[in-house]
A and B are shown apart, each in its own frame.
Chain A
């Protein structure tokens, strides 16, 4: 097990490094750089920048240097905990990211939790009571959830909130709690706001989970060991939960790692629509304005989170499935 974790950690570091290079390269791909975006914005508002000033800025920001020089500067800074400066905000990247990253992790963590809590029982029920009214009902609702785009769902929620309750359902905190330190009151305030985005984010994933779990479980339920256990007089629910469900969970658990990136990318649009203070809108903005250190920093951290998620999913897998734990021998 220890060897397994060490081995995985090494590959994780290499993967992260690869992510950092690719991310940095992709951010550099569009024509121009932050300064051209900046000049475009100034020109549109009637201001002009003279070329000498631009050259001075370009030199100060190190934008004129070749790609690999810029990359090593950036990555070298990261090793000492300095993610560089955001051009647009004129402040350090770390000060911008931390608070929002916390909100992102919290929100997406809650969404994953909600997905599993809802999908597990429904999936099991739908498999055990195949073709019952309940099975069809959950299937229909699930597919509706799957087919409505997240952002539209968020918009509909906001609209209904306005029409029915006269509330503007934006943001994650009420004004008095925005800058307050964490407390139970603040946590409660967060939860009263967070349930909507959590529902929006969890719907599509829940439907997927239900269908996968139902299919896997149906495969298992007819197998001889289940029949044997039943013949020996084991209680039905205990029997199902103990063996077939554990086996059926295998494919689900191994995709937890993929779940995170999907959630993150879908939550960007939802965050923009609902004005949630997560990393999503910040990332989108930094990509459009070519604020490359900010964008690179966010992508790197999200990449790291995904890799950690994959590790966690592997560990859980080893824990629930003895075949993996014992190396298939």
Chain B
């Protein structure tokens, strides 16, 4: 895979150089690359090196989606409030060592021009492009990557980092072979390592320029702490965070002097009293189009900071937003945007969401009350609930008939799709529901028509939800509440604050919670609803704690089926062979199909993006997930305005 990718890049590069040489030769100069006209003055004045010196010897050649573009223009979009780093990561920030291809199927070169791993997935070698430079002109080398890993792995650096960087039982070490060669080693196999660093989290590995950031790092500069206190910071770590930023936080974008490797760099920072964030082209960006024109085509990004989704919506309708697929592109707004296309001069582009469900209903398998725990762990009870839910009614009422009944299972587009798993128990059948509930020991009803639990109490439990994240959830739950009443189950709905929502997981103080359906396309890396995998596997919070750290105080030994899944997943991590990984994943999914731990409702309707008609090279249909930060994998650097 990596060899192929490398070869194709070489091919493009040599073609580009030849082509550019031919053109340049005709013009009587040996200039291999072209730059944006906005940089001409700076180069002529000697403030900026010539384009050939700014680009690496082997720049990454980006194939245009549609056709080669022209330079210029401002891409306008909107940010929501004070901590919307998500949009910045998805438009600009995604420049890891290796990246996903546009189909989200393979890991391909990015800052690294090639990479390989050993057979048991414990050592990964990266060959960096020679001559890539940071936005301040400093060379980008293997030293920078090793430094980023060293700092991120440092316990005394209080920052949130991807788990593998601070793993206690499988720590990573980086070895710098030469300025362009780096080996990252693990004690135990890391079969999914390349996928992890090709995801949005991968940028953590290339975000700190050693030269700039080491001066704030106590390990490298013994005076760092004093320097920090002189500048009003509590410790060196806080000053470092302020001066270098953290990829998944606002700090990354709240200064204009942090060296970066992205296509655009900050010129008007993301600050508390700013109303716009402005980014301008990075003259050292390491990518070109097939004709040797340095990317990006677009000069500037201008993002409106707004607390008001209504304002952003009106801006988009008014043609003041060039591309946006976040905040304002809700299911409710779709008809509005559809009708406004002609007046606003934009069109809509499909986003294929990775999510496989509008709502996953997760009953707490680790409930403190033994009676409820017994019921929730009883597969018959869950099947009974599933048959009692009239999914078509929910789809018609809440989602204007968009979508189809669907359990927590891989999406139809996925290579793991299994129709039985996706469709089992989805038909609305109160009779069947009653049979399964009786099978679970629920036969007696009280005077009010509500079933009695095995201990004689009235069967009632609370489903918690939050309104801020996905406004449709409370509406869906109200319909489900009525439907379940029909078969004699009383559920209470409680809408609470997101912080409390997470708090209650830690204290095991909930009956059931809901979320959306991550892992519809990224099945292997995000199996949170197919097995107790991470803290988002709310249906078995104590079991996932055991899986991730048996010594944690939350941990509880899982049921046998879940244990078997965990063994299989450890085997996935222990191999670098893709087919073997897939085979093991299918076994995990088969167990999930038989055990049916999580109840799904329906397949989410496609998302969409608002795209101005004069913006070109935007892919016509894009996959979309947090790990695959759309539109970045579709190369906004090659978008252009006519």
Chain A interface (Cβ within 8 Å of chain B)? 30-32, 36-37, 39-53, 56-57, 60, 86, 88-92, 95-96, 99-100, 155, 158-159, 162, 166-168, 170-171, 173, 175, 178-179, 271-275, 277, 281-282, 284-285, 288-290
Q: How far is the CB of B571 from chain A (nearest CB, A)?
A: 22
**A47 near B308: Cβ-Cβ < 8 Å:** no
A275 touches B499 (CB 8 A): no
* Interface pairs (28), CB distance under 8 Å: A40-B498, A40-B499, A40-B501, A41-B498, A42-B248, A43-B502, A43-B536, A45-B626, A46-B526, A48-B163, A53-B159, A56-B158, A57-B158, A60-B234, A88-B83, A89-B82, A90-B250, A90-B254, A95-B273, A96-B272, A158-B310, A158-B311, A162-B314, A162-B317, A167-B318, A168-B314, A284-B307, A285-B307
CA distance A39 to B501 in the complex (A): 11
With A89-B82, A288-B497 known to touch, is A173 a contact of B275 (CB < 8 Å)? yes
Given that A162-B317, A170-B311, A173-B275 are contacting pairs, would A89 and B306 also be in contact in the complex, using a CB cutoff of 8 Å?
Answer: no
Residue contact A178 to B275, C-beta cutoff 8 Å: yes
- Which residues of A are found within 8 Å of B501, using beta-carbon distances? 40
**Contact at B249–A90, with CB atoms within 8 Å?**
yes
Other than the given A31-B499, A168-B315, 12 more pairs (CB < 8 A) read A40-B501, A41-B498, A42-B248, A45-B248, A53-B158, A53-B159, A56-B155, A90-B249, A158-B310, A162-B318, A179-B268, A179-B274
CB–CB A166/B242 < 8 A = no
| Main DSSP-derived SS at the A contact region | helix
**Bound: A150/B232 CA distance, A:** 42
CB neighbours of A99 from chain B (8 A): 273
Q: Which residues of B contact A281 (CB under 8 A)?
A: 81, 307
Contacts of B552 in A (CB 8 A): 51
The smallest C-beta distance from A278 to any residue of chain B, in angstroms, reads 10
**B307 and A272 contact, CB distance less than 8 A:** yes
Judging by beta carbons under 8 Å apart, are A47 and B272 in contact? no
Shortest Cβ distance from residue B601 to the other chain A in the assembled complex, whole angstroms: 19
A281, closest chain B residue (CB): B307
CB B239 to nearest CB in A, in angstroms, measures: 11
Tell whether A90 pairs with B498 under 8 Å between CB atoms, given A53-B166, A170-B311. no
Q: In the bound complex, do residue B314 and residue A40 qualify as a contact, i.e. CB atoms below 8 Å apart? A: no
Kindly state whether residue B414 has any CB partner on chain A within 8 Å: no
A275-B308 contact in complex given A56-B155, A89-B250, C-beta closer than 8 Å: yes
- B535–A48 touching, CB < 8 Å: yes
B100 nearest CB across to chain A (Å): 15
CB contacts (< 8 Å) of B526 on chain A: these are 46
- Interface SS of chain B: helix, strand, loop or mixed? loop
Q: Which of B134-165 contact A (CB under 8 A)?
A: 155-156, 158-163
Interface hits, B281-336 → A, CB 8 Å:
306-308, 310-311, 314-315, 317-318, 320
Contact A166 B499 (CB under 8 A): no
Could you say which residues of chain B place their CB within 8 Å of the CB of A50? 163, 166
Q: Which of B156, B160, B237, B311 contacts A275 (CB 8 A)?
A: B311
How big is chain B's contact interface, by range?
35 or more
**Cα separation A158 to B311 with both chains bound (whole Å):** 8
- Nearest chain-A residue to B302 (Cβ)? A175
Tell me whether A46 and B158 are in contact (CB under 8 A).
no
Give the CA-CA distance A179 to B306 in the complex, in Å.
16
Shortest C-beta distance, B321 to chain A (Å), equals 10
Q: Which of A40, A57, A272 contacts B502 (CB 8 A)?
A: A40
**Option from B81, B235, B503, B535 in Cβ contact (under 8 Å) with A285:** B81
| In the complex, chain B residues 160-202 whose Cβ is within 8 Å of any chain A Cβ | 160-163, 166, 200-201
Assess whether A47 is in contact with B81, with CB atoms less than 8 Å apart: no
A42 touches B160 (CB 8 A): yes
**B276 on interface, CB distance cutoff 8 Å:** yes
Q: Is B271 located at the chain interface by the 8 A CB criterion?
A: yes
The B196-235 residues at the A interface (CB cut-off 8 A) are 200-201, 232, 234-235
- Give the residue name and chain of the B residue nearest to A91 (CB): B272
Q: Give 9 nearest A-B pairs by CB, closest first.
A: A96-B272, A170-B311, A281-B307, A40-B502, A275-B308, A56-B158, A49-B160, A99-B273, A275-B306
Rounded to whole angstroms, the CA-CA distance of A158 and B309 in the bound complex is 12
| Chain A residues whose CB sits within 8 angstroms of the CB of B498 once the complex forms | 37, 40-41, 44
Task: Please tell me which one of the listed residues A45, A48, A56, A282 contacts residue B156 in the complex, with CB atoms under 8 A apart.
Answer: A56
Q: In whole angstroms, how far apart are the Cα atoms of A99 and B238 in the complex?
A: 24
Query: Does A60 lie within 8 Å of B235, measured CB to CB?
Result: yes
The answer to whether B534 and A271 touch across the interface, beta carbons within 8 angstroms, is no
Task: Verify A277–B308 contact, CB threshold 8 A.
Answer: no
Rounded to whole angstroms, the CA-CA distance of A271 and B201 in the bound complex is: 34
Q: How far is the CA of A42 from the CA of B248 in the complex (A)?
A: 8
Determine the distance from Cα of A46 to Cα of B200 in the docked complex, in whole angstroms: 10
Cα of A93 to Cα of B453 in the assembled complex, Å: 53
What's the Cα separation between A21 and B262 when bound, in Å?
46
Q: Are A158 and B314 in contact (CB under 8 A)?
A: yes
Contact A53 B272 (CB under 8 A): no
Nearest CB in chain A to that of B522: its residue: A46
CB-CB under 8 A for A46 and B310, given A91-B272, A281-B81? no
B306 touches A36 (CB 8 A): no
Most central of A47, A52, A155, A273 by chain B CB within 10 Å? A47
Instruction: Give the distance to chain B from A304, nearest Cβ to Cβ, in Å.
Output: 20
Could you say which residues of chain A place their CB within 8 Å of the CB of B268? 179
The reply to whether B272 and A39 form a contact with Cβ atoms under 8 Å apart is no
In the complex, B41 has a CB within 8 A of chain A: no
| Contact assessment for A155 and B310 in the assembled complex, using a CB-CB cutoff below 8 Å | yes
Report Cα–Cα, A272/B307, bound state, in Å: 5
The CA-CA distance from A168 to B321 in the complex, in Å, is 12
- Cβ-defined partner of B626 (8 Å) among A46, A100, A173: A46
Contact of A95 among B162, B272, B536 (CB under 8 A): B272
Known A30-B500, A91-B272; contact A285-B82, beta-carbon cutoff 8 A: yes
Q: Is the Cβ of B314 less than 8 Å from the Cβ of A272?
A: no
Partner of A171, one of B83, B158, B275: B275
The answer to whether A290 touches B499 (Cβ under 8 A) is: yes
Contacts of B82 in A (CB 8 A): 88-89, 282, 285
Residues of chain B contacted by A60 (CB below 8 angstroms): 158, 234-235, 237-238
Which of these, A39, A88, A95, A168, contacts B318 with CB under 8 Å?
A168
